């Protein structure tokens, strides 16, 4: 994406390059404000019409944006902290539930408000848009039916005809995750000073039932049964308690991901190594271990501390490169990296 002399943005598309050097030469000569590439693979990538390109597959892409998370804070630093946690949770789903290896997964800081995850494994490249939406449905728990997770004849008669057991198969997937959540919830309730209050917050649970649940969970034998996915004893106290905790667990475990990005098999996405034109921060590829300690407001900065004059249009308060800024309207001299950041956001102009 380029800017014309009037600073209006326009796209230059359908470009292909024979080598990394050729791409580098093009970018340094054009100096684009934003740089994207297609996640799709084409037989004829330089063809001007999409129908002539010959689509032959696409990486599986996930876009995690701080703006899409519930209760997103206004503070940029806090937004980035939240979305990093969500990215780490997605990585956990992809490796444990889908079986992708670390070599299959590329993590990219977008340079803006979040992260992109690319799955490059060959077996997923032929997935169509609907199949990719099903991946998002799984991650976001869309359509998840608790009666199909719990095996009990009162919920799913065809699954349990001879018994009356409430069993959560905990081998993998959402069953395993919900089992872990329920155990954690019960143990945290027991350890808290207001265990009765926590348990009675569930519909139909009074103090008597809450006391019975506490006594039950203190029994190591019964607690081990629960850990193995057998909830019969709890079900006998109140049939709706486990379902209530599980529904709460789903809301806490489910992911918030931009579905249109994942479903789009011809998506354009930011080029790693380029600069984000809305922040001046670098689009950086990361490993899982690097992500855990990654601080984008320090590690994605590429400009220096050369004093730079800018004319600020509105009051600005932010933190960047370990420095806090509280700037009034008007001409200010600040480090180059901070000046670039404000100019990219469109709240300041360079003052010569």
CB of 160 closer than 8 Å to CB of 169: no
Residues 6 or more apart whose CB falls under 8 angstroms from that of 206 comprise 200
What are the distances in angstroms from CA 330 to CA 218, 301, 336?
65, 24, 17
CB of 213 closer than 8 Å to CB of 201: no
CA 284/CA 107 separation, integer angstroms: 8
- Choosing from 59, 65, 104, 264, the catalytic residue is 65
Residue 258 falls in the annotated catalytic set: yes
Phi, psi of 236 (to 5 degrees): -70, -25
Residues 6 or more apart whose CB falls under 8 angstroms from that of 286 comprise 107, 108, 109, 294
Is the four-CA dihedral 95, 98, 101, 102 of positive or negative sign? Answer: negative
Note the Cα 134 to chain centre separation in Å. 16
C-alpha angle 105-107-110 in degrees, rounded to nearest 5:
150
- Choosing from 63, 167, 238, 264, the catalytic residue is 63
Is the four-CA dihedral 66, 70, 73, 74 of positive or negative sign? Answer: positive
Residue 63 falls in the annotated catalytic set: yes
> Helix axis angle, 173-191 relative to 241-253, nearest 10°?
110
Residue 65 falls in the annotated catalytic set: yes
Tokens 């360079």, located at residue:
350
Tokens 């340079």, located at residue:
111
- Choosing from 104, 167, 258, 264, the catalytic residue is 258
Return the number of other C-beta atoms located less than 10 Å from residue 294's C-beta. 19
Q: Which residues are part of the catalytic machinery?
A: 63, 65, 258
């Amino acid at each position: 994406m380029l800017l014309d002399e009037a600073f209006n943005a326009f796209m230059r598309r359908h470009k292909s390059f024979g080598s990394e050097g050729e791409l580098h030469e093009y970018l340094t000569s054009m100096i684009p404000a934003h740089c994207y590439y297609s996640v799709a693979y084409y037989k004829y990538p330089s063809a001007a019409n999409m129908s002539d390109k010959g689509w032959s597959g696409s990486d599986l892409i996930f876009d995690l944006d701080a703006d899409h998370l519930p209760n997103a804070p206004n503070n940029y630093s806090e937004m980035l902290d939240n979305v990093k946690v969500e990215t780490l949770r997605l990585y956990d789903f992809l490796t444990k539930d889908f079986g992708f290896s670390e070599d299959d997964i590329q993590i990219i800081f977008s340079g803006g408000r979040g992260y992109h995850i690319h799955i490059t494994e060959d077996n997923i490249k032929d997935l169509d848009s609907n199949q990719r939406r099903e991946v998002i449905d799984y991650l976001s728990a869309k359509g998840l039916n608790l009666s199909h997770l719990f095996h009990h004849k009162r919920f799913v008669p065809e699954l349990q005809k001879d018994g009356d057991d409430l069993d959560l198969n905990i081998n993998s997937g959402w069953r395993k995750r919900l089992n872990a959540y329920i155990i954690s919830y019960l143990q945290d309730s027991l350890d808290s000073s207001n265990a009765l209050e926590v348990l009675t917050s569930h519909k139909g649970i009074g103090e008597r039932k809450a006391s019975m649940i506490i006594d039950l969970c203190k029994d190591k034998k019964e607690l081990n049964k629960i850990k193995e996915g057998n909830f019969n004893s709890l079900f006998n106290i109140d049939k709706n308690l486990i379902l209530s905790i599980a529904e709460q667990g789903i809301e806490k475990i489910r992911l918030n991901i931009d579905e249109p990005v994942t479903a789009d098999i011809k998506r354009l996405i930011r080029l790693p190594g380029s600069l984000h034109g809305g922040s001046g921060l670098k689009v950086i590829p990361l490993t899982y271990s690097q992500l855990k300690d990654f601080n984008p407001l320090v590690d994605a900065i590429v400009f220096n501390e050369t004093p730079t004059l800018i004319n600020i249009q509105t009051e600005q308060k932010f933190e960047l490169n370990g420095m806090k800024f509280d700037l009034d309207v008007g001409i200010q001299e600040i480090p180059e990296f901070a000046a670039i950041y404000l100019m990219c956001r469109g709240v300041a102009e360079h003052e010569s």
